[in-house]
Structure 1
């Protein structure tokens, strides 16, 4: 049995991972929370209220913990002080394994909403400069395949979000001349299953935990969409120079906002997200590694065409 602590356990992705850990029936799970346990607490999961600004409170909460998974919301803490305190406390409490709040792309270039990831990556390198004091893994699945099902919900906890691939209205935005930029797409269920496997894995885990469900080009995603939806996609192409200047010349944009984004910021951020995803893809930010695929070579990932066929079959 592995004693696992979950920081930020009320988040959508965290809940998916917690469910996978519970299903494994091999772990003692503790959720760290700023608040008292919510109603409807999941059986076999312990809750502990902590103060992320108090390192020693965190040390006490982490004593005896083997693996710490962080799902702390990045946007609410620009300097990432909560995660830094969590890392320091985990080291003092002799937590053996740590995973920071990642669960997305490999790179963060052109994606200011994920700048906190880079801050924490650099902090982890810094604390390990002289001696390896924190064994950590960056779980990186690319973009959730479930988002291509929007507006339909395909996971228990993760809500639908819009992307530059709009399967409902059969349209997409591509960067002119870069239609073959790479996008890694992994289902939420596959990420959760692989994280659960990694938690119970007794051997060495890679520092970069790439989880590659599907590695496809933007143009391949469009081709799959046209096949499944049974009609051509409307393709709007944008120029790099416009994107770099903060201009998105398209007839449509994203609508849904993540619940962590304040409503007054959503209109600005959805534009920033569209531009960021398009530009970052040109730098290879979404071409994640397959380190954990290799470690768990028997695991069968959901293929993009199979997944989307199940979602969109019979829908107009």
Structure 2
């Protein structure tokens, strides 16, 4: 049995992972959260309210914990003090393994909303500078394949999220001359399954935990199942902060204030297009190599099932 703490354990991605961990029936799981316990949490899970600014409290909460998985919201903490305090407390408490709040692209170039990840990565390198005091990995599955089924829900907790590939309306936005840009697409269920296996893994975690569900180009996505109207936008416009497309993202992430949504949604579209051309979404495959027998959901099978009978 492994004692696991999940920071930010009330969010949708973390709850997908918790269910995967629980399915083995052999882990003792504690959720660390700023808020009071949700009513639908399984009774065998321990819920502990914490203040991420109170390091002594975090140290007490992490005593006896083997693995700490962080799903702390990056956007809500620009300086990433919450995760830095978690790392400090984990080291003092004797936690063996830590996974910071990643669960996306391998790079953050041109995506300012994720620059906080770089601060946490650098901090982990700093604390392990002279000797390895905390084993950690960066789980990086690329974009959730589930989002290509928007507006339909394909997972228990993960909410649908709109992307530049709009299968419902058969439209997409790509950068002119970069149709061959690579993007990794992995279902949240596959991410959760891989994390659960990594928790059980006896060897040392690789520092980068790339997960390749599907490694495809933009043009390959647009050849699956439907005929798309493609808006081609220019590099110079994107670099100037202009998205000259006939449509834009409208679905708001729960973590984004309504008054900031419009500008952020435009920035997300621009950022994904620019960053994909620089390899930010081409995840490595360390976790695939550790668990070669895991059967990842194929993009064509997923899309066929998701859109079968749908308009």
What TM-score, normalized by structure 2, do the two folds share? 0.99
- Counterpart of 1:24 in 2: which secondary structure? coil
Task: Give the counterpart of 1:254 among 249, 256, 260.
Answer: 249
Task: Give the counterpart of 2:267 among 254, 263, 272.
Answer: 272
Find the counterpart in structure 1 of residue 139 from structure 2: 139
Q: Deviations over 1:7-51 (max 9, x none)?
A: 000111000000101111110000011122122222311011111
d(CA) in 2 for partners of 1:165, 1:37: 36
Give the 5 Å matches for 1:158-237.
158-224=158-224, 228-229=225-226, 232-237=227-232
d(CA) in 1 for partners of 2:285, 2:44: 32
Task: Give the counterpart of 1:290 among 275, 278, 285.
Answer: 285
Find the counterpart in structure 1 of residue 70 from structure 2: 70
d(CA) in 2 for partners of 1:101, 1:67: 14
Find the counterpart in structure 1 of residue 90 from structure 2: 90
Q: Deviations over 1:85-109 (max 9, x none)?
A: 0000000001000000000000000
d(CA) in 1 for partners of 2:242, 2:168: 24
What TM-score, normalized by structure 1, do the two folds share? 0.97
- Counterpart of 2:41 in 1: which secondary structure? coil
d(CA) in 2 for partners of 1:162, 1:302: 20
Find the counterpart in structure 1 of residue 120 from structure 2: 120
Find the counterpart in structure 2 of residue 81 from structure 1: 81
- Counterpart of 2:23 in 1: which secondary structure? helix
d(CA) in 2 for partners of 1:168, 1:311: 11
d(CA) in 2 for partners of 1:280, 1:34: 33
Question: Which segments of structure 1 move beyond 6 Å, counting only runs of 4 or more?
Answer: none
Find the counterpart in structure 2 of residue 263 from structure 1: 258
Find the counterpart in structure 2 of residue 6 from structure 1: 6
| Unaligned residue ranges in structure 1 (runs of 5+) | none
- Counterpart of 2:4 in 1: which secondary structure? strand
Alignment partner of 1:100 is 2:100 = yes
| Unaligned residue ranges in structure 2 (runs of 5+) | none
d(CA) in 2 for partners of 1:314, 1:49: 44
- Counterpart of 1:113 in 2: which secondary structure? helix
Q: Deviations over 1:137-187 (max 9, x none)?
A: 000000000000000000000000010100000011111011000000000
